[in-house]
């Protein structure tokens, strides 16, 4: 699993497909999620482009950003009826979408779990440039 500076994660399902969602850290900060605006199958996104939004019980709405460039091939429809799946299992059953990977190199530029654990967005100006590129495959 790899993480973006916008608190989304990506995990390979296979060499061409990635599962994406928001991190446990992000869902904890947001609180109880009551609504998820999902992307549509067929939508294409650049890395760090807005894919949708999450709304918490206190009315806060935050944007969810794509951690990679690619095309949405499946969305987690269970979130329509149970958006709190993100709170209960943000890095598991609460995944948001599956994407066809367009630029595999981007995944290696994201943070490892160890890097993300230490990450504090106030400490970084250049995001991805702070980390050495690693081969992900």
CB 31 within 8 A of CB 51: no
Instruction: Please report, for the chain, the start and end positions of each structural domain, with discontinuous segments joined by +.
Output: 2-120
Strand order in the sheet with 61-65: 33-37, 50-56, 61-65
| CA neighbor of 23 nearest in space, from 42, 56, 1, 52 | 1
Burial class (CB within 10 angstroms; exposed 0-12, middle 13-18, buried 19+) of 46: middle
Q: What is the pTM of this model?
A: 0.82
Which helix or strand (DSSP H or E) is residue 92 part of? none
Assigned architecture for domain 2-120: Beta Barrel (2.40)
How does pLDDT run along the chain (137 residues), one tens digit per residue? 999 999 999 999 999 999 999 999 889 988 999 999 999 999 999 999 999 999 999 999 999 999 999 999 999 999 999 999 999 999 999 999 999 999 999 999 999 999 988 887 654 444 433 344 455 44
């Amino acid at each position: 699993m790899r993480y973006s500076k916008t608190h989304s994660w990506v995990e390979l399902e296979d060499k061409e497909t990635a599962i994406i969602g928001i991190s446990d850290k992000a869902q904890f900060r947001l609180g109880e999620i009551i609504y998820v605006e999902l992307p549509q199958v067929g939508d294409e996104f650049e890395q760090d482009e807005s894919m949708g939004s999450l709304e918490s019980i206190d009315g806060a709405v935050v944007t969810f950003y794509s951690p990679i460039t690619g095309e949405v091939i499946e969305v987690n429809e269970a979130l329509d009826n149970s958006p709190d799946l993100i709170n209960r299992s943000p890095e598991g059953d609460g995944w948001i979408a599956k994407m066809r990977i367009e630029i595999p190199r981007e995944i290696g530029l994201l943070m490892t779990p160890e890097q993300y654990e230490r990450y504090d967005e106030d400490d970084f100006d250049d995001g991805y440039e702070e980390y050495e590129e690693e081969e992900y495959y």
